[in-house]
Amino acid sequence: MKDGKCACEENVSESELFERLDKVLLDYHDKPGGLIPILQYAQAIFGYLPENVLKYISTKLNKSYSEVAGVVSFYSFFSTHPRGKYLIRVCLGTACYVRGGKEILDAVKKELKIDVGETTQDRLFSLEVGRCFGACGLAPVMLVNENVHRRAKPSKIAEILSAYKGGTGDEQ
């Protein structure tokens, strides 16, 4: 995704990021339902959706800021704060919860010293909760980006996260 390249992966000026967003806005401006794809690309470009980007989009689409911000707040895949390189999602759906999902979440929070919705100071990890990842037979499940950690145990959380801190977690 050429215009969706994240600013966190390269050294790019803010004006260049807005130029990329302008290209997306041109492509989707008149398309019904175009707001969500625009927001998805904007998040890919900026790494998250800060207030100034939401205001820019609302102005360019001739929509109210509250409408644009309302869509962002409704969908959990949008973020208004910077996310870490690794997005950790702990499943708290019924099967995962019953099999220890809450304990997995507590272990991650303790290990990273952050709460749900927060990002570590080094912007390496962000923590979120999911309701079901469709892997109930593997419960409890934790995702780190797209990597599934099945039958997770609180005693293994430090080891799992250490692999990502060391740069070897992507291969798991």
Q: Which of 44, 74, 104 is the last residue of a domain?
A: 74
**Spatial separation of the C-alpha atoms in residues 4 and 66, rounded to whole Å:** 24
CATH number of the domain bearing residue 92: 3.40.30.10
- Residue 170 above 70 pLDDT? no
Task: Say which DSSP state 129 is in.
Answer: E
User: What's the pTM?
Assistant: 0.68
Task: Give per-residue pLDDT as tens, 48-105.
Answer: 999 999 999 999 999 999 999 999 999 878 989 888 999 999 999 999 999 999 999 9
The encoded tokens of residue 162 equal 């250490």
Is 79 domain-assigned? no
Is 110 domain-assigned? yes
Parent domain of 142: 86-171
How open is the CA angle 22-26-29, to the nearest 5 degrees? Answer: 115
Q: Which of 47, 74, 101 is the last residue of a domain?
A: 74
Q: Exposed, middle or buried: residue 166 (CB in 10 Å: 0-12, 13-18, 19+)?
A: exposed
What is the count of structural domains for the chain?
A: 2
Q: How far is CA 127 from the centre of its chain?
A: 9
Total H helices, total E strands in the chain: 7, 4
Amino acid in position 109: K
User: Do the Cβ atoms of 57 and 42 come closer than 8 Å?
Assistant: yes
